[in-house]
């Protein structure tokens, strides 16, 4: 875990450096709707873009407005200042408009030779699945042509198998966090996920074996209350650590740098492209999807009940319109289900705001009688 | 036997000492650069001016943003969030209170409490000065008024000028614009106080208003903001019979008494 602690806050990790030195290619993506199996099937490292270090955003602010989410502005800042120069290209999605603004301004300045825009439908219907299959085929073709690799059906199915293995192991890690007493904390789980999001699936799977073996008998400090956390994109391990420092245990999550990235990736089809479309579009528990609120709510309630939580934290970055709006219904539904809620609007990565965040969490625990 | 509460906020620090009968003494002062310095200074003031030996204090609870550091320094034996402390303090002063509006230097909170002051729900302002004491401070400075004058002056307003922005920075520009066009300070101040009350009323509505309602924190001393809030929420804000800024420290002292076994 000590190695993980370092890697989970580095952008250009030792692992990525080795990969590049061996001549490996790296593609950056940001959205949980990006099928990493397709990138991995091309022998390319799928690298999820993060904003570690929460940099000042003076370069990002020159291209995005202050009313854009700071996570996106921070990623853009890192891209523009050269921290991501090890990437060989970017895969954009229409996850949200802030994200699109980030990608397109990044590309406008950096002009990667490989830049692909994967258009993800906002509906889950038969025709949108068909559309997404076409989009995935275009992405497959673009990667294949630019990098000169043959992405065969077999390679895709092999990558699917590898990620199924990774997801099964992540579920075991989550079970270690959910059990009473837990063997792993919320901050540690996020470290693992962040680290894994910069690795090839096979290597992440091997790392998970080590983490599971190390953590099986561990006993983190005692806690006062078990909470579930949900909300907008965040890679802030320190936010989770701050919350847990007040005596809470983040026993479960519905974050896209968390369970939403892997919990349900199911599909029936024998055709690899159709299968990827089903796995991703079929289980995209994100408020960017229209008419899917009930499924998202059910997923959250099911997760909360399984983890036996005392309360929920809905956290979102200032100006995140998708999660800001979603929080209203989420709060009402969670409270109707008997789960008290703390809505925590915050600026991404603002360490100066730690005191106010901890005050609200501490008061929430006091409200829970903990 | 005495019990104490220390509340170190962003602008002011308070210490309250209680005994089995009620409030024995309290002090309030502007903060020092570090919360521990503030806590020490306000305790020294209390000890010296009230001739109260601190050794006679059986248990002390700290609250406010420096609560953990104050405890780590050994000045208190436990800490609690200012949200819970304001609820406890308000309930002690006004037992029928179910909603507490607390507006401090950088925070605005609306707290719903039960019959014993226990925390039922709360909402705190986002990371923004709008709707906090800092908002009033910025506009008062632009108008060349003290914080106390801002409330008093606006009571003489002939008309309440509209401020379209709730952002402290943009609002300051609008205040300057009105000044340059020759509007009276009273009319502008009334607009500032109304803008402030609108932000706070929105917070109240978010958590849900339940009567009776009290108001604590420094902004509670601004008569114009109070009057605007009463009008907007159609409710009477019950006044405390002590300084509204000591409610958090009082809540901490009450908790100290509970923890200290009395």
Separation between Cα atoms, residue B211 and residue A275, nearest integer Å: 57
- Using the Cβ of A345 and the Cβ atoms of chain B, whether some distance falls under 8 Å is answered with yes
Question: Over the stretch A71-111, which tens digit does the pLDDT of each residue have?
Answer: 999 999 999 999 999 999 999 999 999 999 999 999 999 99
C-alpha of A143 from chain center: 23
HSE on the CB side for A316, CA within 13 Å? 21
- Using the Cβ of B88 and the Cβ atoms of chain A, whether some distance falls under 8 Å is answered with no
Domain ranges across chain B: 1-94+242-262, 96-239
Contact between B171 and B139 under an 8 Å Cβ cutoff? The reply is yes
> Under DSSP, is residue A32 helix (H, G, I), strand (E, B) or coil?
coil
Type and span of the H or E element at A140? helix A126-147
Domain ranges across chain A: 2-149
Contact between A256 and A202 under an 8 Å Cβ cutoff? The reply is no
Separation between Cα atoms, residue B145 and residue B78, nearest integer Å: 39
* ipTM (interface pTM): 0.84
Cβ within 8 Å, pair B65-A353 = no
Question: Over the stretch B170-179, which tens digit does the pLDDT of each residue have?
Answer: 788 888 889 9
CATH of B1-94+242-262, one of 3.10.450.50, 3.30.420.40, 3.50.50.60, 3.40.50.150: 3.30.420.40
Q: With contacts defined as CB-CB under 8 Å, which chain A residues touch B100? A: none
Question: What percent of the residues of chain A are helix, what percent strand, and what percent coil, each to the nearest 5?
Answer: 50, 10, 35
Q: What phi and psi, each to the nearest 5 degrees, are found at residue B237?
A: -90, 115
The residue-averaged pLDDT of B103-127 equals: 88
Tell me which CATH code domain B96-239 carries. 3.30.420.40
HSE on the CB side for B152, CA within 13 Å? 5
Cβ within 8 Å, pair A366-B121 = no
Task: Categorize the per-residue pLDDT at A5 as very low, low, confident or very high, splitting at 50, 70 and 90.
Answer: low
Cβ within 8 Å, pair B119-A318 = no
What was the pLDDT predicted at B137? Answer: 84
- Using the Cβ of B80 and the Cβ atoms of chain A, whether some distance falls under 8 Å is answered with yes
Question: Over the stretch A177-232, which tens digit does the pLDDT of each residue have?
Answer: 999 999 999 999 999 999 999 999 999 999 999 999 999 989 888 999 999 999 99
State the best of B8, B35, B67, B81 to mutate against chain A, taking most chain A CBs within 10 Å. B81
Reading the block at residue A73, the tokens are 């502005």
Task: Categorize the per-residue pLDDT at A3 as very low, low, confident or very high, splitting at 50, 70 and 90.
Answer: low
Reading the block at residue B145, the tokens are 């008024």
- Using the Cβ of B158 and the Cβ atoms of chain A, whether some distance falls under 8 Å is answered with no
What was the pLDDT predicted at B104? Answer: 81
Q: Do domains B1-94+242-262 and B96-239 have the same CATH topology?
A: yes
The residue-averaged pLDDT of B211-234 equals: 91
Q: Give yes or no for residue B129 having a pLDDT over 70.
A: no
Question: Over the stretch A6-37, which tens digit does the pLDDT of each residue have?
Answer: 555 789 999 999 999 999 999 999 999 999 99
- Measured between CA atoms, the residue of chain A closest to residue B67 is A359
Contact between A317 and A348 under an 8 Å Cβ cutoff? The reply is yes
Residue B63 forms beta bridges with which residues? B7
Separation between Cα atoms, residue B185 and residue B191, nearest integer Å: 10
- Using the Cβ of B134 and the Cβ atoms of chain A, whether some distance falls under 8 Å is answered with no
What was the pLDDT predicted at B125? Answer: 78
Task: Categorize the per-residue pLDDT at A4 as very low, low, confident or very high, splitting at 50, 70 and 90.
Answer: low
User: Can you give the pTM of this predicted structure?
Assistant: 0.90
Q: What Cα–Cα distance (Å) separates residue B46 from each residue in B5, B9, B19, B41, B168?
A: 12, 17, 15, 9, 35
| Residues A282, A287, A289, A290, Cα dihedral to 10° | 130
Contact between A76 and A107 under an 8 Å Cβ cutoff? The reply is no
- Using the Cβ of B107 and the Cβ atoms of chain A, whether some distance falls under 8 Å is answered with yes
Cβ within 8 Å, pair A363-B84 = yes
What was the pLDDT predicted at B118? Answer: 94
Q: What Cα–Cα distance (Å) separates residue B240 from each residue in B14, B34, B97, B196, B220?
A: 16, 30, 11, 21, 10
Nearest-CA neighbor of B29 among B241, B243, B261, B260?
A: B243
Nearest to A360 among B80, B120, B124 (CB): B124
Report which of residues B56 and B133 the model is more confident about.
Answer: B56
Separation between Cα atoms, residue A288 and residue A267, nearest integer Å: 21
What was the pLDDT predicted at B127? Answer: 65
Q: Give yes or no for residue B183 having a pLDDT over 70.
A: yes
Separation between Cα atoms, residue B146 and residue B163, nearest integer Å: 20
The residue-averaged pLDDT of A330-355 equals: 91
Nearest to B119 among A318, A356, A367 (CB): A367
- Using the Cβ of A353 and the Cβ atoms of chain B, whether some distance falls under 8 Å is answered with yes
- Using the Cβ of A331 and the Cβ atoms of chain B, whether some distance falls under 8 Å is answered with no
Question: Over the stretch A115-171, which tens digit does the pLDDT of each residue have?
Answer: 999 999 999 999 999 999 999 999 999 999 999 999 999 999 999 999 999 999 999
Q: What phi and psi, each to the nearest 5 degrees, are found at residue A5?
A: -55, -40
The residue-averaged pLDDT of B20-44 equals: 93
Q: Which CATH architecture has domain A2-149?
A: 3-Layer(aba) Sandwich (3.40)
Q: What percent of chain B has pLDDT over 70?
A: 97
Cβ within 8 Å, pair A318-B127 = yes
Q: What phi and psi, each to the nearest 5 degrees, are found at residue A65?
A: -85, 160
Cβ within 8 Å, pair A355-B83 = no
Pairing of strands B213-216, A248-254: unpaired
Task: Categorize the per-residue pLDDT at B167 as very low, low, confident or very high, splitting at 50, 70 and 90.
Answer: confident
Look-up of token digits 């020294």: B44
């Amino acid at each position: 875990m000590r190695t993980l602690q370092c890697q989970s806050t580095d952008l250009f990790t030792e692992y990525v450096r080795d990969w590049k030195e061996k001549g490996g290619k790296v593609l950056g993506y940001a959205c949980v709707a990006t099928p990493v199996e397709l990138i991995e099937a091309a022998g390319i490292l799928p690298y999820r873009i993060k904003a570690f270090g929460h940099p000042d955003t003076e370069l990002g602010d020159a291209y995005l407005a202050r009313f854009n989410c700071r996570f996106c502005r921070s990623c853009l800042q890192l891209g523009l200042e050269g921290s991501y120069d090890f990437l060989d290209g970017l895969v954009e999605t229409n996850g949200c408009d802030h994200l699109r603004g980030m990608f397109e301004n990044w590309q406008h300045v950096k002009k990667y030779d490989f830049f692909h825009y994967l258009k993800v439908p906002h509906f889950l219907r038969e025709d949108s699945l068909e559309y997404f299959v076409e989009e995935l085929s275009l992405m497959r073709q673009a990667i294949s042509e630019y990098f000169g690799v043959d992405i065969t059906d077999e390679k895709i199915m092999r990558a699917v198998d590898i990620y199924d293995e990774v997801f099964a192991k992540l579920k075991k890690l989550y079970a270690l966090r959910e059990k009473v007493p837990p063997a792993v904390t919320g901050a540690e789980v996020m470290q693992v996920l962040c680290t894994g999001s910069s690795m090839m699936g096979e290597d992440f799977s091997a790392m998970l074996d080590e983490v599971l073996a190390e953590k099986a008998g561990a006993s983190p400090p005692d806690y006062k209350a078990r909470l579930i956390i949900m909300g907008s994109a965040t890679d802030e391990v320190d936010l989770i650590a701050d919350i847990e420092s007040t005596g809470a245990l983040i026993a479960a999550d519905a974050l896209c740098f968390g369970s939403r990235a892997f919990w349900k990736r199911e599909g029936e089809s024998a055709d690899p492209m159709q299968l990827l479309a089903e796995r991703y579009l079929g289980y995209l528990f994100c408020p960017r999807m229209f008419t899917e609120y009930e499924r998202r709510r059910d997923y959250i309630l099911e997760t909360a009940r399984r983890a036996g939580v005392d309360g929920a934290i809905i956290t979102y970055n200032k100006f995140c319109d998708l999660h800001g709006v979603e929080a209203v219904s989420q709060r009402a539904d969670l409270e109707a289900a008997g789960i008290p809620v703390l809505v925590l609007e915050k600026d991404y990565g603002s360490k100066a705001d730690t005191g106010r965040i901890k005050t609200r969490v501490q008061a929430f625990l006091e409200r829970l009688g903990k | 036997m005495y019990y104490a509460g220390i509340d170190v906020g962003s602008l002011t620090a308070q210490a309250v000492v209680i005994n089995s009968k009620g409030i024995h003494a309290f002090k309030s002062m502007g903060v020092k650069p570090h919360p521990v310095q503030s806590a020490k200074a306000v305790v020294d003031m209390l000890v010296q001016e009230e001739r109260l030996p601190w050794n006679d204090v059986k248990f002390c609870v700290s609250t406010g943003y420096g609560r953990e550091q104050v405890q780590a320094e050994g000045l208190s034996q436990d800490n609690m969030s200012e949200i819970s402390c304001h609820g406890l303090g308000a309930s002690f002063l006004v037992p029928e209170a179910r909603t507490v509006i607390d507006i401090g230097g950088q925070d605005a909170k609306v707290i719903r409490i039960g019959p014993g002051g226990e925390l039922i729900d709360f909402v705190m302002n986002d990371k923004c000065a709008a709707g906090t004491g800092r908002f009033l401070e910025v506009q008062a400075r632009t108008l060349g008024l003290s914080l106390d004058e801002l409330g008093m002056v606006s009571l003489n307003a002939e008309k309440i000028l509209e401020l379209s922005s709730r952002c402290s920075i943009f609002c300051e520009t609008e205040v300057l614009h009105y000044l340059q066009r020759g509007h009276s300070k009273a009319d502008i101040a009334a607009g500032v106080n109304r803008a402030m009350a609108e932000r706070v009323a929105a917070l109240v509505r978010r958590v849900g208003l339940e009567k009776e309602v009290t108001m604590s924190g420094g902004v509670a001393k601004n008569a114009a903001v109070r009057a605007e809030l009463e009008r907007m929420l159609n409710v009477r804000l019950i006044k405390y019979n002590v300084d509204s800024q000591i409610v958090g420290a009082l809540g901490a002292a009450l908790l100290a008494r509970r923890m200290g076994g009395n």
